[in-house]
Amino acid sequence: MTQSAPAILITGKPGVGKTTIVRKVIEQTWNMGGFYTREVQENGKRMGFEIVSLEGEVATLATKAVEIRFNNQVMLGNYKVNIDSIDLLAVPAIEKAIENNQIVVIDEIGPMELFSENFRNIVMKALKNDRITVFGTIVERSNQIADTIKTHPRVTLLHVEERNREEMYKLVISLLEAIL
């Protein structure tokens, strides 16, 4: 039996540097596809998040802006989550990475993204394909769907804290280098 490709997921508290690690790993010259999220700030305050595909496409994931409404939105706390952005940017980016046999980057598997059934399905498709390497982040706090993903047999779960952020980055690099 051949060994399956790894699924490496980073977890940790919000703001600890999970996406920073993802973005540093993306800067490597590996064959990757998928997406990451980035914070949107106004006057130094977090106002929302964007989805950024590794091909450079950008869409609003969520916003606190009162004047903005999405056709297909759900509320999560003060955020309006744009399900269409997940379905029309994040999901196809993951699908394309799978089809192209790339390292699949998913940042993040979190409550906002998990509102999308299409997103849940594509994440499970990536995890079930043991020829595909998955790398990304997953929400730390308990979430029924995320907790199931965390215990998937292919998943190596790495817990990042401020004090071990650089070591986690180096560990991810070494794990990915071992498969390439």
- Kindly list the structural domains of the chain, giving each domain's residue range(s) and its CATH number in brackets, ordered by start: 7-179 (3.40.50.300)
Give residue 51's region: left, alpha or beta (phi > 0; psi -120 to 50): beta
Paired tokens of 49:
């998040």
Q: Which residues contact 123 (CB under 8 A, 6 or more apart)?
A: 94, 106, 109, 149
pTM of the full predicted structure? 0.93
Q: Which amino acid is at 81?
A: V
Provide the residue-wise pLDDT of the chain in tens; the chain has 180 residues: 345 678 999 999 998 999 999 999 999 868 999 999 999 999 999 999 999 999 999 999 999 998 999 999 999 999 999 999 999 999 999 999 999 999 999 999 999 999 999 999 999 999 999 899 999 999 999 999 999 999 999 999 999 999 999 999 999 999 988 877
